[in-house]
Amino acid sequence: MKRLLAAVGLLLLLCRAGDAELGDRAAANSSHSGFPQTVRVRLWYLHPPRELRIRADAGRAQMRTCAACKTTAITAAALRATGSKIEVEGNKPAFSEFRVSGAYQMNAAGDPPLRADFPIEIRASEGHLLITAFMPMEEYITGVLAGETGNFKSDEALKAMAVAARTYAMHFGSRHALEGFDFCDTTHCQDLRIVGIDAHLRSIADATAGEVLWYDGEPAATYYHANCGGTTEDGHFVLGNNEPRAPFLVQHSDQYCLRNGSTQWRTEVAKRDLQRALAADGVVVPGILRAVSVLHRTPSGRVEFIRVTGNGTITVPALAFRSAIGRHIGWDRMKSNWYDVSDAGDRLIFHGRGSGHGVGLCQIGAEVMGEEGRSYREILSFYYPGTRLGVSAQGIPWQQLANEDVALLTTRPDHDRSLLTLATGFMHESEENTGLLYRATPRLKIYPTIAAFRNSTGEPGWVAASTRGRTIQMQPSDVLREAGTLESTIRHELLHMLIDSYALPGTPLWFREGLVLYLTAPNASAKQSENVVDLKSLEKALRSPASEEESRHAYAGASARVAQLARQHGRETLLDWVQNGLPANAVASGAAQRTGGR
Ligand SMILES: [Zn+2]
Ligand SMILES: [Zn+2]
């Protein structure tokens, strides 16, 4: 293993920033541990729009009309569904498919514009546009935080929610697989609010990136709710047989949410309205509804069965009772199943406490814990007792170190502390080398074992590091140090991240890889004697190398090709191409132009 690492010397793959091809690979793309890296999310699931306007951000959007079609730059497009076709304003033939990538805004009638930099695929059905976004998992989690956490003030509570939301998504996996996507954007899956995504929420998701709660080797069923009212509910009473009975979803008292003040509510429902609502859900009360009383409560005190009396008496499960009122009278009326009911003539008065089903994490309680200085780990172990937090089933105890330039996640802080200074030095070098400035703080994540690295990244053991967004995931520092590649790996990945953050979407990987190698060691690149015959196969070998050998050749080939381009056009021109795209003659295969690598 070490020998191979030493022999490769360069090592890495999967630089995902600015990757326009992402969408096509997304569906099948998951690593060894089963973590999806990209999720397919149906936007406007409940109300698919008939029309959609797309406008490029900073001239950086492209479109295609099929997966294999040619990509063209667009500045704006107005789409309209007619039957199962998509009409594009100013374009004669209608399309059955329309794909957008790059950076852009989309407007559906009435909604504020959504800013996006993930690929979308649009199809049409019965006069509506079906819009599927290929979102990086962590961006999806950030959007769920925006949708599900309202105005949380505590960062630790937000982090706990990020882990709960990520675990929930992984536990349920692809709920809409039959419809061709993974998650809808409503509370059926988790409420997604893309317009609410901001830098702060991104930093929250990022601080817990990849962390999941495990139970029995699987991502746990991390249910959560708004406010338990002082006692959580046993999952069994809410989920029935949909979930195996889970010891981490047991009833327990919650002193925290009670400190936030009153959790009580009161609502009145007219008996006539109630009878109509029940009937609409198929619950028929004989005669005219006269009385309602609690028949049975669960041990937490929540109502389990309701007795409804007309000319006779029927028993209604409290879950069905509440959802009938929610669906047909209003979800804001009966906030939970924890209530007493009293008769007021033609109306019923419900006095209750808490909000939501009460199972799992209580958001108000989590917020109070965070404000009282508890960490997200403490919050999670309070609400999901017996689960383990980690990036893989092993549960890795990460510790974070940081200076003003870079963050470091490690399990051995004393051992790895010096890497912070090293990384800062390389960042300054990269900025001077390229004239570009880092847009976000890089994170170095150093796995404690090769197995943990492989589990979490899905990379083979001969890959030293893998970069996604602003996180560089690395093999244990000792392994790299002994292979003599620790410094070169960090240097390479940091420069890579910088270049990728400016690269025009669709910039080939061979160019980005080759440029990083060339900038860090111009002389070594010029000496590469790889015969670059075909840039297409070079690109393929870089993206998914069949072996360590093929990977090594591909890196050498990319390096040689870029060194050659640098001789022809000059270093500054190449840096310019990063942001503005490569000219056709640079993308054309190099065989004929090759002047020999010496
Ligand atoms: Zn759904
Ligand atoms: Zn609570």
pLDDT tens digits, one per residue of 503-528: 888 889 999 999 999 998 888 777 76
DSSP alpha helix (H) spans, 281-396: 318-328, 363-371, 376-383
User: pLDDT tens, 431-461?
Assistant: 999 999 998 888 899 988 787 787 666 677 7
Three-state secondary structure string covering 553-578: HHHHHHHHHHHHHHHHHCHHHHHHHH
Q: What is the pLDDT of residue 243?
A: 62
What distance in angstroms lies between residue 184's CA and the mean position of ligand 1's atoms? 4
Ligand nearest to the CA of 175: 1
* pLDDT given at position 546: 78
Quote the CA–CA distance of 235 and 385 in Å, as a whole number: 13
Residue list, CB under 5 A from ion ligand 2: 228, 254, 257, 362, 365
Region of residue 12 (left: phi > 0; alpha: psi -120 to 50; beta: else) = left
The pTM score is 0.63
- pLDDT per position as a tens digit, 276-303: 999 999 999 999 999 999 999 999 999 9
- pLDDT for 29 beyond 70: no
Amino acid sitting at position 36: P
Share of the chain above pLDDT 90, in %: 54
Q: From ligand 1's centre to the CA of 190, what distance in Å?
A: 7
Task: Assign 26 a pLDDT band (cuts: 50, 70, 90).
Answer: very low
Map tokens 């065989």 to a residue.
591
Closest-approaching ligand to the CA atom of 258: 2
Reported confidence tier of residue 247, pLDDT bands at 50, 70, 90 = confident
CA distances to 325, 518, 537, 590 from 558, in Å: 64, 9, 11, 11
CA of 134 to the centre of ligand 1 (A): 15
pLDDT of residue 532: 60
pLDDT at 597 over 50: no
Instruction: Decide if 348 contacts 365 (C-beta within 8 A).
Output: no
Instruction: Please tell me the predicted confidence (pLDDT) of residue 33.
Output: 37
CA of 165 to the centre of ligand 1 (A): 14
List the end-to-end C-alpha distance of the chain, in Å, as a whole number: 31
How confident is the prediction for the chain on average, in pLDDT? 85
Mean pLDDT of 51-64: 90
